[in-house]
Structure formats: structure tokens, C-alpha cells
Amino acid sequence: MDLDQRAAAKAAAHAQHGARLRLDWGPTGGGSIAAAADIAVVVDVLSFTTTLSIAAARGMRVYPFGWKDERAASFAAERNASLAVGRFEARSLDRPTASLSPAELLRSEPVPRLVLPSPNGSTICAALEADVPDLQIVGASLRNRTAVASWLRPRIADGASVAFVPAGERWPDGSLRPAVEDLWGAGAVLDLLRDTIQRDETSPEAEHAAAAYRAVVEGGPDCLRDALRQCASGQELIAVGFGDDVEAAAELDGDDVVPLLTADGFVAAGPA
């Protein structure tokens, strides 16, 4: 086997081409497994896809963007959209305002069009949209896991392959930090799809996510809420005063909506 053949074999292995349900982390892993998939399910429980689910359920059109900077403001202005404020900025205002904070968004008045910057889930969605033509991209969280699974089920039955992309977080040096809450979020959807596909068509990575979710909820819904509070990302939010965001993220099936990325932002998808 020459160098080109070995490179091709390595790429195919990491793309999990043998599986129709596959999973890998962050922008690089997600790009690898989504390149030949029909659907990508991006999961960023604390907080992008949780906030996205709430926004879509409230009738908002949401545009993903990367870091919040002057480019985000221009991007929002071009689309006649509101730009979500950061968590700490929202706290300093005298009224609830559209924010990456899911709890703050639940308290605020809905806006028709919202640019939602996020360095993890939002950035992954924008990159997949740019890099993988014809890929359908949806946002999943614990809040909308049943709605997403129900939407996926007939598409999988028709032969679609699905790439699950847990976003993870970032260490200070910019490297990826796998975040257990995103593994649970992906696993929560995958667990509902076990009867839709042969087990040998699910990658071990995807199987592991479903097993991780089952393990954390085996004692009941309160176990999931407690685990979210106790995981590193949950502890980080609680420590800086955003425990309400953890509680909002832990509301299993709180939203009956599937945010689908279109040419004009995320909107609630039609019936499965």
C-alpha cells in the first residue's frame, strides 16, 4: 500500500464511512464524519443548541456565527437581525434581553431574527454549512431530543446517514475539551434511534454516546439534572452565577421543535 492509499484508508476510517450513524467531536471531527453524510446533528448543551431550541420553539429565526465581534454586528445588520448579547452583558441590563444564556432567552421578549454567536456549536454549524454542500444541519439538545429523533427516524429509514457532532468546549490554549454534557446530548437522541437501524450500521463512537446517556439517566430524570450540575461545564456556569442556564438545559423534552439550518438561518422544521 503506497502513501496515497494509506492516507485514503486513514481518512475513510476516521470518517466512519462504514456506519450510517456516526459521531465525532468539534469542528475537525465533525467535518470529517459529515463530509459524506446526509444530515449533521450538532450538539452544544451548554449552551448554543439549548438556546437555539428555545429560540426556534418561540418562533425566532436564528443565524449561527462565530465569536461576537464587529463582524457579528455587521452580519446581523445585513440580515436585519438582533445580535444576541453575552451572558455577563445581559446580566448588566435592566430588562431581559436575547442572549446565549438559555434562561435569559426564556425570560426575554422573542425577536423575529437573531444572530447567535458561539465559539463552539454556532461556529461548527456555520463551518459545516460552508464546507459541505447539500448537508442538512439540525441542532439537538436534551430539551428537544425526542423531536429530533422523531424527525430523523423516517429519513434514516429512507437510507440517510447521520453525523452527530458534539461540540465540546475549548481549553485556554484553544484545543478541544470534550464535554460530557454534549456526549449525553448526542446519546439522548441516539438512544431513541436504536430500533431504526441495524447495530452494525452504528459506529462504536455513536454507540458509546448512547450508552453514556443511558448510564446517567438509569436512576431517573433527576440523575441527569444532578449530573449536569456536577460536570465541569455545569460547575463552571454555577460558579459564575448562571445556574439557571444549567437548569434550563436539563429540562428533558422541554421543546417540541427541530431547528433546521436553511439558506436564511435556522427555523423550526416541518413535521417529520
Identify any residues that bridge with 136 across adjacent strands, giving them in sequence order: 39
pLDDT of residue 271: 73
Which one is predicted more confidently, 94 or 53?
53
Statement: residue 9 has pLDDT above 60: no
**pLDDT for 206-256, tens place per residue?**
999 999 999 999 988 799 999 999 999 999 999 999 999 999 999 999 999
The Cα 253–Cα 257 span in angstroms is 9
Statement: residue 95 has pLDDT above 90: no
Mean pLDDT of 195-213: 94
Mean pLDDT of 180-186: 98
pLDDT of residue 5: 55
The Cα 147–Cα 217 span in angstroms is 19
DSSP secondary-structure letter at 192? T
Instruction: Give me the sign of the Cα torsion angle 161, 221, 49, 27.
Output: negative
Are 54 and 101 in contact, with CB atoms under 8 Å apart? no
Statement: residue 43 has pLDDT above 80: yes
Where exactly are the structural domains of the chain?
21-262
pLDDT of residue 1: 63
CATH number of the domain located at residue range(s) 21-262 in this protein: 3.90.1560.10
